Amino acid sequence: MQRRLPDLLIDLAKPAPADLATLFPHRPETIVLEIGFGGGEHLLSHARRRSEAGFVGVEPFVNSMAKLVTALDQEPADSIRLYDDDATQLLDWLPDGSIDQIDLLYPDPWPKPKHFKRRFVSDRNLDRFARVLKPGAMVRFASDIDSYVNWTLQHIDRHPDFAWTARRAADWREPYPDWPGTRYEAKALRENRTPAYLTFVRL
Protein backbone atom coordinates (compact mmCIF):
# COMPACT_ATOMS: atom_id res chain seq x y z
CA MET A 1 0.00 0.00 0.00
CA GLN A 2 2.82 2.43 0.90
CA ARG A 3 4.69 1.74 -2.31
CA ARG A 4 1.89 1.40 -4.86
CA LEU A 5 -1.20 3.24 -3.64
CA PRO A 6 0.11 6.85 -3.83
CA ASP A 7 0.64 6.56 -7.62
CA LEU A 8 -2.84 5.18 -8.11
CA LEU A 9 -4.80 7.53 -5.87
CA ILE A 10 -6.72 10.53 -7.16
CA ASP A 11 -5.75 13.59 -5.11
CA LEU A 12 -8.83 15.68 -4.37
CA ALA A 13 -6.63 18.44 -2.91
CA LYS A 14 -5.73 19.30 -6.51
CA PRO A 15 -8.39 20.80 -8.79
CA ALA A 16 -9.99 18.29 -11.12
CA PRO A 17 -8.51 18.41 -14.63
CA ALA A 18 -10.89 19.88 -17.23
CA ASP A 19 -10.33 16.69 -19.22
CA LEU A 20 -10.54 13.70 -16.90
CA ALA A 21 -8.79 11.52 -19.49
CA THR A 22 -5.52 13.22 -18.48
CA LEU A 23 -5.60 11.16 -15.26
CA PHE A 24 -4.57 8.20 -17.42
CA PRO A 25 -1.49 7.77 -19.63
CA HIS A 26 -3.60 6.40 -22.53
CA ARG A 27 -6.14 9.30 -22.45
CA PRO A 28 -9.27 7.09 -22.65
CA GLU A 29 -12.40 8.31 -24.36
CA THR A 30 -14.57 6.24 -22.02
CA ILE A 31 -14.35 6.46 -18.23
CA VAL A 32 -16.18 4.09 -15.88
CA LEU A 33 -16.65 4.77 -12.16
CA GLU A 34 -17.22 1.84 -9.79
CA ILE A 35 -18.44 2.79 -6.31
CA GLY A 36 -17.69 0.37 -3.45
CA PHE A 37 -15.67 -2.18 -5.43
CA GLY A 38 -15.13 -4.50 -2.43
CA GLY A 39 -12.54 -7.12 -3.36
CA GLY A 40 -12.15 -5.44 -6.78
CA GLU A 41 -12.83 -8.58 -8.83
CA HIS A 42 -15.39 -6.86 -11.06
CA LEU A 43 -13.27 -3.73 -11.54
CA LEU A 44 -10.15 -5.73 -12.40
CA SER A 45 -11.98 -8.05 -14.77
CA HIS A 46 -13.38 -5.15 -16.80
CA ALA A 47 -10.15 -3.15 -16.69
CA ARG A 48 -8.19 -6.13 -18.05
CA ARG A 49 -10.77 -6.78 -20.79
CA ARG A 50 -11.33 -3.16 -21.84
CA SER A 51 -7.84 -1.69 -21.73
CA GLU A 52 -8.89 1.20 -24.02
CA ALA A 53 -11.22 2.56 -21.30
CA GLY A 54 -10.31 4.25 -18.01
CA PHE A 55 -11.60 2.97 -14.66
CA VAL A 56 -11.98 4.88 -11.42
CA GLY A 57 -12.60 2.65 -8.40
CA VAL A 58 -13.77 3.92 -5.01
CA GLU A 59 -13.51 1.89 -1.83
CA PRO A 60 -13.12 3.30 1.71
CA PHE A 61 -12.60 -0.09 3.43
CA VAL A 62 -8.83 -0.45 3.77
CA ASN A 63 -8.66 -4.27 3.62
CA SER A 64 -10.56 -4.26 0.31
CA MET A 65 -8.32 -1.53 -1.08
CA ALA A 66 -5.26 -3.54 0.00
CA LYS A 67 -6.54 -6.58 -1.89
CA LEU A 68 -6.90 -4.64 -5.13
CA VAL A 69 -3.58 -2.83 -4.70
CA THR A 70 -1.86 -6.19 -4.15
CA ALA A 71 -3.39 -7.51 -7.38
CA LEU A 72 -2.25 -4.37 -9.23
CA ASP A 73 1.24 -4.72 -7.77
CA GLN A 74 1.45 -8.23 -9.20
CA GLU A 75 -0.08 -7.26 -12.55
CA PRO A 76 -0.21 -3.48 -13.07
CA ALA A 77 -3.01 -1.79 -15.04
CA ASP A 78 -2.45 1.80 -16.15
CA SER A 79 -6.15 2.15 -16.84
CA ILE A 80 -7.14 2.14 -13.13
CA ARG A 81 -7.20 5.09 -10.73
CA LEU A 82 -8.46 4.84 -7.16
CA TYR A 83 -10.09 6.82 -4.39
CA ASP A 84 -10.09 5.50 -0.83
CA ASP A 85 -12.85 7.44 0.91
CA ASP A 86 -16.54 8.30 0.58
CA ALA A 87 -17.59 8.30 -3.08
CA THR A 88 -19.67 11.46 -2.58
CA GLN A 89 -16.42 13.41 -2.10
CA LEU A 90 -15.08 12.17 -5.42
CA LEU A 91 -18.41 12.82 -7.14
CA ASP A 92 -18.34 16.44 -5.94
CA TRP A 93 -14.78 16.82 -7.29
CA LEU A 94 -15.43 15.34 -10.75
CA PRO A 95 -16.04 17.72 -13.68
CA ASP A 96 -19.53 18.01 -15.17
CA GLY A 97 -20.31 15.40 -17.84
CA SER A 98 -17.01 13.53 -17.45
CA ILE A 99 -18.17 9.94 -16.77
CA ASP A 100 -19.63 7.35 -19.18
CA GLN A 101 -20.84 4.75 -16.69
CA ILE A 102 -21.34 4.37 -12.96
CA ASP A 103 -21.45 0.89 -11.43
CA LEU A 104 -23.01 0.59 -7.97
CA LEU A 105 -22.93 -3.14 -7.33
CA TYR A 106 -24.41 -4.58 -4.16
CA PRO A 107 -24.16 -1.37 -2.14
CA ASP A 108 -24.48 -1.75 1.64
CA PRO A 109 -28.15 -2.80 1.97
CA TRP A 110 -29.25 -1.08 5.20
CA PRO A 111 -32.32 -3.37 5.32
CA LYS A 112 -34.04 -1.87 8.38
CA PRO A 113 -36.50 0.94 7.54
CA LYS A 114 -34.98 3.22 10.20
CA HIS A 115 -31.64 2.95 8.29
CA PHE A 116 -32.97 3.43 4.73
CA LYS A 117 -31.72 7.02 4.74
CA ARG A 118 -28.13 5.70 4.96
CA ARG A 119 -28.47 3.97 1.59
CA PHE A 120 -26.17 5.26 -1.14
CA VAL A 121 -29.10 5.72 -3.50
CA SER A 122 -30.77 8.99 -2.52
CA ASP A 123 -32.19 12.01 -4.35
CA ARG A 124 -29.02 13.93 -3.46
CA ASN A 125 -26.68 11.24 -4.82
CA LEU A 126 -28.73 10.84 -8.00
CA ASP A 127 -28.30 14.60 -8.50
CA ARG A 128 -24.55 14.02 -8.11
CA PHE A 129 -24.66 11.19 -10.66
CA ALA A 130 -26.66 13.36 -13.07
CA ARG A 131 -24.09 16.15 -12.91
CA VAL A 132 -20.99 14.00 -13.59
CA LEU A 133 -22.49 11.71 -16.23
CA LYS A 134 -22.49 12.43 -19.96
CA PRO A 135 -25.91 12.47 -21.66
CA GLY A 136 -26.72 8.88 -22.64
CA ALA A 137 -24.39 7.47 -19.98
CA MET A 138 -25.39 4.40 -17.95
CA VAL A 139 -25.85 3.67 -14.26
CA ARG A 140 -25.79 0.00 -13.31
CA PHE A 141 -27.21 -0.99 -9.92
CA ALA A 142 -27.26 -4.59 -8.70
CA SER A 143 -28.69 -5.76 -5.40
CA ASP A 144 -30.07 -8.90 -3.79
CA ILE A 145 -32.20 -6.91 -1.34
CA ASP A 146 -35.75 -6.53 -2.68
CA SER A 147 -36.54 -3.45 -0.61
CA TYR A 148 -33.38 -1.72 -1.93
CA VAL A 149 -34.28 -2.60 -5.54
CA ASN A 150 -37.75 -1.09 -5.05
CA TRP A 151 -36.25 1.90 -3.25
CA THR A 152 -33.90 2.54 -6.17
CA LEU A 153 -36.65 2.17 -8.79
CA GLN A 154 -38.80 4.68 -6.87
CA HIS A 155 -35.93 7.17 -6.67
CA ILE A 156 -35.14 6.80 -10.38
CA ASP A 157 -38.79 7.09 -11.33
CA ARG A 158 -39.12 10.49 -9.69
CA HIS A 159 -35.75 11.81 -10.88
CA PRO A 160 -36.08 13.92 -14.05
CA ASP A 161 -32.61 13.02 -15.43
CA PHE A 162 -32.82 9.22 -15.44
CA ALA A 163 -34.89 6.48 -17.03
CA TRP A 164 -34.93 2.73 -16.43
CA THR A 165 -34.04 0.93 -19.66
CA ALA A 166 -35.77 -2.43 -18.98
CA ARG A 167 -38.23 -3.67 -21.61
CA ARG A 168 -38.71 -7.29 -20.44
CA ALA A 169 -38.11 -9.28 -17.26
CA ALA A 170 -34.80 -10.70 -18.51
CA ASP A 171 -33.44 -7.14 -18.54
CA TRP A 172 -33.35 -7.09 -14.75
CA ARG A 173 -33.16 -10.82 -14.01
CA GLU A 174 -30.07 -11.56 -16.08
CA PRO A 175 -26.61 -10.18 -15.29
CA TYR A 176 -24.96 -7.58 -17.49
CA PRO A 177 -22.91 -8.68 -20.55
CA ASP A 178 -19.40 -9.93 -19.66
CA TRP A 179 -20.47 -10.19 -16.03
CA PRO A 180 -17.70 -11.67 -13.87
CA GLY A 181 -19.84 -11.66 -10.71
CA THR A 182 -18.79 -10.10 -7.43
CA ARG A 183 -17.89 -11.57 -4.10
CA TYR A 184 -21.00 -10.18 -2.45
CA GLU A 185 -23.17 -11.61 -5.22
CA ALA A 186 -21.67 -15.08 -4.71
CA LYS A 187 -22.63 -14.85 -1.01
CA ALA A 188 -26.18 -13.76 -1.90
CA LEU A 189 -26.59 -16.69 -4.32
CA ARG A 190 -25.23 -19.15 -1.74
CA GLU A 191 -27.84 -17.84 0.68
CA ASN A 192 -30.63 -18.22 -1.95
CA ARG A 193 -31.29 -14.52 -2.50
CA THR A 194 -32.13 -13.47 -6.06
CA PRO A 195 -30.26 -10.46 -7.44
CA ALA A 196 -31.74 -7.80 -9.69
CA TYR A 197 -29.61 -6.01 -12.30
CA LEU A 198 -30.98 -2.55 -13.07
CA THR A 199 -29.70 -0.25 -15.81
CA PHE A 200 -30.57 3.43 -16.02
CA VAL A 201 -29.76 5.93 -18.71
CA ARG A 202 -28.81 9.57 -18.09
CA LEU A 203 -31.27 11.49 -20.25
Ligand X SMILES: C[S@@+](CC[C@H](N)C(=O)[O-])C[C@H]1O[C@@H](n2cnc3c(N)ncnc32)[C@H](O)[C@@H]1O
Q: Distance between CA atoms of 38 and 93, rounded to whole angstroms?
A: 22
Q: Residues in contact with ligand X, total (CB under 6 A)?
A: 20
Q: Find the binder of ligand X among 44, 64, 68, 139 (CB under 6 A).
A: 64
Q: How far is CA 120 from CA 81, 88, 115, in A?
A: 21, 9, 11
For ligand X, the closer CB: 122 or 163 = 122
Using the Cα atoms of residue 148, residue 154, residue 160 and residue 165 in order, give the sign of their dihedral: positive
Residue 88 CB partners (closer than 8 Å, separation 6+): 125, 128
User: Which element (helix H / strand E) includes 175?
Assistant: none
Interface with ligand X in residues 138-177 (CB under 6 A): none
Interface with ligand X in residues 77-96 (CB under 6 A): 86-87
For ligand X, the closer CB: 39 or 163 = 39
Residue 69 as a binder of ligand X (CB under 6 A): the answer is: no
Interface with ligand X in residues 103-132 (CB under 6 A): 105-108, 120
Do 42 and 55 contact (CB within 8 A), yes or no? no
Q: Distance between CA atoms of 140 and 24, rounded to whole angstroms?
A: 23
For ligand X, the closer CB: 106 or 197 = 106
Please confirm, yes or no, whether 86 is among the known catalytic residues. Answer: no
Tell which residue, 137, 114, 117, has the closest CA to residue 129: 137
The one segment of 60-68, 93-101, 163-171, 191-199 that binds ligand X by CB under 6 A: 60-68
Do 33 and 59 contact (CB within 8 A), yes or no? no
Q: Find the binder of ligand X among 1, 19, 48, 60 (CB under 6 A).
A: 60
Residue 54 as a binder of ligand X (CB under 6 A): the answer is: no
Q: Distance between CA atoms of 105 and 87, rounded to whole angstroms?
A: 13
73, 92, 96, 108: the catalytic one is 108
Residue 100 as a binder of ligand X (CB under 6 A): the answer is: no
Residue 195 as a binder of ligand X (CB under 6 A): the answer is: no
Measured at CB, which residue is nearest to ligand X? 36
| Positions marked active-site | 108
List interacting residues with ligand X (CB under 6 A). 35-38, 58-61, 64, 86-87, 105-108, 120, 182-185
